Amino acid sequence: MLETNDARDLMAIVEKLSDIKEDSQQRSWHLHEDLLAITQLLKKLLNLLINASPDLNRWILSRNHYEACLDLVLYYQMETRSSLRLIMLDIFANICSLDGHFLSELLASVLPLELLREVKDQSTDSENLPSVIIVLCMLFSTGENIPHNHYTYFNEDFTMLVLDIIESDTEIIYSPEISELCIKLLLAFNLHLEVLKDNICMKSVAKKKSCKYLTEHLLLLFNRGDDPVKLPDIKSVPTNSVIKFISDIFSDTVTSNIFYTNDAKVLVDIVLRQLTDLSPGDFMRTEHLSLMQLVLLNSGYFEQQHRLQELKSCLNRIYDEENVIVDKDIIRQIYHQFPTYFDSSSC
């Protein structure tokens, strides 16, 4: 592997970038004549990450406890030139796609904090901001816990800022692209927030009260049935980020109120369709059942009773299936929680 041209080129680039990082640490000003040389070097690295063997990239960049990656992070932190930072953001995005170990190393580094600083900076270069948010989203995409000291910065102010960007409540009106990327960022960040009472995303939603843009796009994503933050070939929590976020919203009567009545009806329509289409034993069907239970518990569902008869038939059909213990447990709970509307005699 070391005898290939790609291997030699990659190791040479890593060494040169380490030298540049050391040089930058020793002076607080830039040599403007080095801009072209560093740009070419970073573009060569990006090209190798895209086109060289992933195994080769993983092997070289993980040597010495991921030293090359961490050197890049430190250099990114020191480099102020927007054009160079933009290339490095593309490099980080490709490194994140190599495997979960690289994601873990970058998540534990100062990179998330540096990216957060850029999001908070209202004067952030508009060309760079989408890439900043994309990399942040990738870092959070596996649901891995972030280092405890990061919570000093990734706090409720952060989640409220992201919500403000989504709803364009701030003085700056953000583009639809930025708002949609921030929805993905919120979905990704919410993955590792397992304790509802401590969930800062939901605390921000409760304070926001009106999240029209967010709920509309959540329904669009939910209807598609995909997970916009999941990375291909990267091990992550099995939970779908969209379903988790909507489930967290409907875990409390306050946050569930951000869904307008018609939007809540559309949500029930989608859940019923999925409960009908998904096969017995499918984890996603169980997730939809759990969500339906939360909708019944914490929203004004029974005021409208939208498609209640169809829901009854669907739950009865699933309950009569064999070898679906978890699904039956959820349905049994629903029957006993709402005896006025569901017949629990068969349970």
Q: Which segments of the chain are extended strands (E)?
A: none
d(CA 228, CA 204): 21
pLDDT recorded at residue 170: 53
Say how many C-beta atoms besides its own lie within 10 A of residue 216's C-beta: 14
C-alpha angle 178-151-102 in degrees, rounded to nearest 5? 70
pLDDT at 241: 97
Could you give the C-alpha distances from 246 to 60, 134, 167, 174, in angstroms and in order? 41, 21, 17, 24
- Nearby residues of 144 by Cβ (< 8 Å), 6 or more positions away: 100, 103, 104, 107, 192
Predicted TM-score (pTM) of the model is 0.93
Dihedral sign computed on CA atoms, order 327, 333, 336, 340:
negative
Task: Check if the beta carbon of residue 189 is closer than 8 Å to that of residue 159.
Answer: yes
Q: Which residue has the tokens 């996603």?
A: 284
* Conformation bin of residue 233: beta by default, left when phi > 0, alpha when psi is -120 to 50: left
Write out pLDDT tens, residues 27-75: 555 555 588 999 999 999 999 999 999 999 999 999 999 999 999 999 9
Amino acid occupying residue 123 = S
Across the chain, what does the average pLDDT equal? Answer: 92
Token digits for 61? 């960049």
CA gap 169, 186 in Å, rounded: 16
Judge contact between 304 and 261, C-beta under 8 A: yes
Residues 6+ positions from 183 with CB-CB distance below 8 Å: 166, 214, 217, 218, 221
Instruction: Look up tokens 């990006």; give the residue.
Output: 46
Given a cut of 70, the residues of the chain with pLDDT beneath it are 1-2, 24-33, 122-125, 169-173, 346-347
At residue 125, the pLDDT reads 53
3-state helix/strand/coil string of 126-182: CCCHHHHHHHHHHHHCCCCCCCHHHHHCCCHHHHHHHHHHHHCCCCCCCCHHHHHHH
Give me the residue label for tokens 């304790």.
195
pLDDT (tens digit per residue) in 140-184: 999 999 999 999 999 999 999 999 999 985 556 678 889 999 999
Residue 346 has a pLDDT of 64
CB 62 within 8 A of CB 37: no
Q: How far is the C-alpha of 243 from the C-alpha of 226, rounded, in Å?
A: 10
